[in-house]
Amino acid sequence: METCWGASFFGVLGREWQQSSQRNCYKEYLNMLWRDTAVFWYNKSRKKRRNRLMDYGYLMEEAMKARKMAYAPYSQFQVGAALLCTDGSVYTGCNVENASYGAANCAERTAFFKAVSEGKRSFRAIAVAGGKKDAVDLEPCPPCGICRQVMEEFCSPDFVIVLGKNEADYQMYTLREIFPLPFGE
């Protein structure tokens, strides 16, 4: 099988070389090689970017990593979030609690505020991973009402919320599904 592949590879090269040398134009042949190489790498990078924009397992993984940074000495409930922008960049956040309970901030809003403060305004999805500090298995952790309202401020109704136990076990919801009657101007 290996020799077949090898033979066909050199066969193609040989044929192309022959055709171009018949026209006495090796420069054209080299240009063709350069062009093909450039197109190959362009497609490869585009594919990688597209995969990243669609890969919500990857986003869950980032949320789980961010969860390890949670500051939750009062509730012991640790949450991580990973926010995917339409340009492919990802901003993570964790919950940050306070002795004055009302001063606490959720993981989702931490991620949003980080991204917005860096100039981002266009978002595609957010993954949330939450559970008790020593939990072996995480359970889906839906965003609170305030975080849904913050999402509504910056996102379209089809913005995706990814909730799950891990990078292989998750569900997707749209913002309008989990926030059907939003307040807005």
Considering the rule CB under 5 A, would residue 138 count as an interface residue with Zn ion? no
CA distance 6 to 173: 48
Among 63, 81, 83, 106, binds Zn ion (CB under 5 A): 106
Q: How far is the CB of 102 from Zn ion (least distance, A)?
A: 13
Among 147, 161, 162, 175, binds Zn ion (CB under 5 A): 147
Q: For this structure, is 108 an active site residue?
A: yes
CB of 95 closer than 8 Å to CB of 104? yes
Nearer to Zn ion, 12 or 144 (CB): 144
Give the contacts of 140 (CB within 8 A, at least 6 positions apart).
163, 164, 165, 170, 171
108, 118, 153, 167: the catalytic one is 108
Q: At how many degrees (to 10) do helices 107-117 and 145-154 cross?
A: 20
**Closest C-alpha among 97, 100, 123 to residue 112:** 123
Binding piece for Zn ion, criterion CB under 5 A, among 16-24, 28-36, 90-98, 139-147: 139-147
Q: Which residues bind Zn ion (CB under 5 A)?
A: 106, 144, 147
* Catalytic residue list: 108
